Copies of this chain bind each other. A is one copy, B any other.
Amino acid sequence: MGTRKLVDITQFIKQSFGLWKAQRSAHHLAFAHFEAVESRIKVSEITPDDSRVIELCRSNQIEPKRAIMPFQMTWEGHSDWDDGEVMEGSCILVPIPDKDRPNQGKLLRDQGYAEMIAAVGNYNITEDGTFILITEYKRAAAEEKIWFVNPNLRCRVSLIKTSNGTGVVTASFSSEIRSLKADSNF
């Protein structure tokens, strides 16, 4: 209590590498509806000289050498709203720390596959080690908080807001447990 965990972006991303088994609940607030999603997530390192990293930096007019700890996220899951369909996707994420403050900056995301759109978010790591990411889209804004309870349990709260920031449409919570067994299919 009261002690500060100084976590930097490099440490935070390193802690995220691996396979995770996620339970996610989405609360659709206007209808008081609950949605349950189970998924597997893989977070893996990619090298800063990977062509996809360089291209993503250039398409955002950012010097590729400012990128640190780029990574790839891949997921596969299903929702109780649509039992038959498997949701899957993958994207590249590239942190660009501010020059003067390493624990805040931009997070570039490529288009990936599965209906993702390219986006640039602003991240910030609070003094208690919570990673906060705010991403503005044309018609909506997303605010995420991610923190580690211990090295094998990560929590993530995501809010989808209207673009003017007033209304929250969906609030969702994901609890992610590190999966220790390697899964060759993933």
List residues of chain A with CB under 8 Å of any chain B CB.
1-2, 21, 23, 25, 27, 29, 32, 34, 36, 38, 80, 101, 104, 122, 124, 126-128, 130, 132, 134, 143, 149-150, 153, 155, 157, 159, 166, 168, 171-173, 175, 177
Q: DSSP class of A's interface residues: helix, strand, loop or mixed? A: strand
Task: Pick 17 A–B contacts, CB within 8 A, sort by A.
Answer: A1-B124, A2-B101, A23-B27, A25-B36, A29-B153, A29-B175, A34-B80, A36-B36, A127-B127, A143-B149, A149-B168, A150-B168, A153-B168, A153-B171, A155-B159, A171-B175, A172-B173
Provide the residues of chain B in CB contact with A124, threshold 8 Å.
Answer: 1-2
